[in-house]
Structure 1
């Protein structure tokens, strides 16, 4: 999608952090943007700030972990802009805790927001992008933790899922003129460590798995890293804009974790090397 001006984008988790960075970069490129977020106050503030720059934007409040609310947000987008060309599945939460501190509520919260909402977003917006025949792009925010497991296994599980989904859909949707990209950011200055501020009541207890000593220490360390080393979300937004224009399969924010990714693939290759000269038994003919 080389010419983004005049196209329409729907961005979840758009009131702050990476989502706002993406919405801002797209709006500056002439894209009409529907910002979607669960946090009404922050959403109103973000929309007002962008409108002050003469950007053609609107906001819609939705809890993306509820499919019906995501559908309603899609309906509002079509009512306001008529078409959708770009879907950015960005809303996400952190947490889940370490082994020994997991809860069912914690797993449900992460799976619903980080993975199921991406599935639902594609299921709802994919046909809308197809319908006008003008092509489009789907960008889903995973994490570098979608390629290398971090301190929170539940979080990594959801992000690995987003990577796998994006990789598979890229081949499926290409003939339909829809590109698919997966964003795998590293350390970005966002509010993800404060995700529980928007915890829906039905997930009560989801944040309880972060209360043990190991989890508290990991959270404090990560919070400090985000504050001292985190990349500006506006820069990430510009990378995503470029990724959409050039249909990048993977969008990375920096090379900090590249050695860890290379080490993972080296371990995978070593697994193949161990059995390379062995001949597995096969069913006999006849």
Structure 2
């Protein structure tokens, strides 16, 4: 999609952070953008700010962890703009904790927002994109989708988004739909305060066992890093470039490249052990 001007995008988790950065970068390229978020006040402020730049934007409030609300948001986008060419599955939460702190609500909240909503978004929007002759889908995973940050539901869901995107890229390419997975590093977002939007049906997430001192320190260190993280607008510009050039993977920096290389090397050693074992027979 070399020429984005005049195209229509639907962005989830668009009221702040990476979602707003992507919406802004696309709007600057002449894309008409429907911003979707659960947080109404932040969504209204984001749209007001973009409209001051003469961007053609609109908004719809939806809890993407409910398929029916995402479906309704899609219909509102169709009613407003006639369809969608670009889907940005960006909404995400940092719900759940490591082994020993798990509970069903934490898993369900994180799975519903970070993974099931991505599945539903593709299920709902891909036919719409295809009906326009093609377009592009970007789903936000994380660098934690390539190097597990631990046993948290967050890492599990992000691995799922990477796997889904890799598979869909092969399947949707012949249909004229490009697929990219965004694997950001440490970005300046509100991810550490995800519970501000916790739906009541997942309220027992807060009943999880408390973190121990070491876990709490790691959380505090991460929160400090996030507060000084990469500018979300820069991430948005990378996503725009990724759409224009059909990148399969969109990274934001090279900080974690050595860790990914180490993971791949360990996988390779697993194959080498089998190869060596067969050679000794």
TM-score, normalised relative to structure 2: 0.97
2:89 and 2:18 map into 1 onto residues whose CA distance is 11
Q: Which residue of 1 aligns with 2:265?
A: 266
2:24 and 2:41 map into 1 onto residues whose CA distance is 18
Task: Assess if the C-alpha contact under 8 Å between 2:18 and 2:90 holds in 1.
Answer: yes
SS at match of 2:35: strand
Query: Which of structure 1's runs of 4+ aligned residues deviate more than 6 A?
Result: none
Q: Which residue of 2 aligns with 1:132?
A: 132
TM-score, normalised relative to structure 1: 0.95
1:169 and 1:55 map into 2 onto residues whose CA distance is 31
1:271 and 1:128 map into 2 onto residues whose CA distance is 43
- Residue by residue over 1:37-75, the C-alpha shift from the partner in whole angstroms, topping out at 9 and shown as x without a partner, is 000000000001001110000000000000000000000
1:97 and 1:209 map into 2 onto residues whose CA distance is 8
Once the two structures are TM-superposed, the CA of residue 277 in structure 1 deviates from its matched residue by 3.4
2:126 and 2:22 map into 1 onto residues whose CA distance is 19
Q: Which residue of 2 aligns with 1:215?
A: 215
SS at match of 2:33: strand
1:130 and 1:136 map into 2 onto residues whose CA distance is 7
- Aligned runs of 1:66-77 on 2, under 5 Å? 66-77=66-77
Task: Assess if the C-alpha contact under 8 Å between 1:210 and 1:216 holds in 2.
Answer: no
Q: Which residue of 1 aligns with 2:49?
A: 49
SS at match of 1:204: helix
Q: CA RMSD in A?
A: 1.2
SS at match of 2:276: coil
Task: Assess if the C-alpha contact under 8 Å between 1:186 and 1:253 holds in 2.
Answer: yes
Q: 1:210 to 1:252 in 2, by over 3 A?
A: farther
Task: Assess if the C-alpha contact under 8 Å between 2:37 and 2:61 holds in 1.
Answer: yes
Once the two structures are TM-superposed, the CA of residue 211 in structure 1 deviates from its matched residue by 2.6
- Residue by residue over 1:102-157, the C-alpha shift from the partner in whole angstroms, topping out at 9 and shown as x without a partner, is 01100000000000000000000000001121x20000000000000114521110
Q: Residue 254 in 1 paired to residue 253 in 2?
A: yes
- Aligned runs of 1:235-250 on 2, under 5 Å? 235-250=234-249
Aligned length: 278
Q: Which residue of 2 aligns with 1:284?
A: none
Q: Which residue of 2 aligns with 1:36?
A: 36
Once the two structures are TM-superposed, the CA of residue 210 in structure 1 deviates from its matched residue by 6.9
Q: Which residue of 2 aligns with 1:283?
A: none
- In structure 1, list runs of 5 or more residues that go unmatched: 281-286
